[in-house]
Amino acid sequence: MTKTITRADLTEAVYQEVGLSRNESAQLVESVLEEISACLTTGESVKVSSFGSFSVRHKRARMGRNPKTGEEVPINPRRVLVFRPSHVLKEQINKSLSKPATIG
């Protein structure tokens, strides 16, 4: 079964690995996420080698449609975040998840 990893698990990993207090580990996990978020909020992208990159894309205004009612609704211009996984990460995931017998 699949599990869900949360901040608590990241905190625990940092705690085990670095030897700071749990409290401080939690704070640092938060700081890392905050630095990344703050950077993205300015529109700058964040690249983490062998993991992937986060970048901000601008979407133009367009007309959308409420699929339930068929009603047209304007969609305002907005900024969205896209994550592009690195090749290393993709390969890592495929290596560990692909079954030994694949269709050739």
Partner 1 sequence: MIKSELIARLAEANPHLYQRDIERIVSTIFDKVAGALCKSDRVELRGFGSFSVKRRPARIGRNPRTGEAVSVAEKHLPFFKTGKELRKRLNTRQDDT
- Distance CA(20)–CA(23), nearest Å, equals 8
Q: Applying CB under 8 A, does 21 fall inside the site for partner 1?
A: no
Using CB under 8 A as the binding rule, whether residue 48 contacts partner 1 is answered as: yes
Of positions 60, 67, 96, 100, contacts partner 1 by CB under 8 A: 96
Query: Least separation, in Å, of the C-beta of 55 and partner 1?
Result: 11
b/e per residue 68-95 (b: at least 16 CB within 10 A)? eeeeeeeeeeeeeeeeeeeeeeeeeeee
Q: Does 66 contact partner 1 by CB under 8 A?
A: no
Q: Select from 22, 31, 65, 75 the one that contacts partner 1 (CB under 8 A).
A: 31
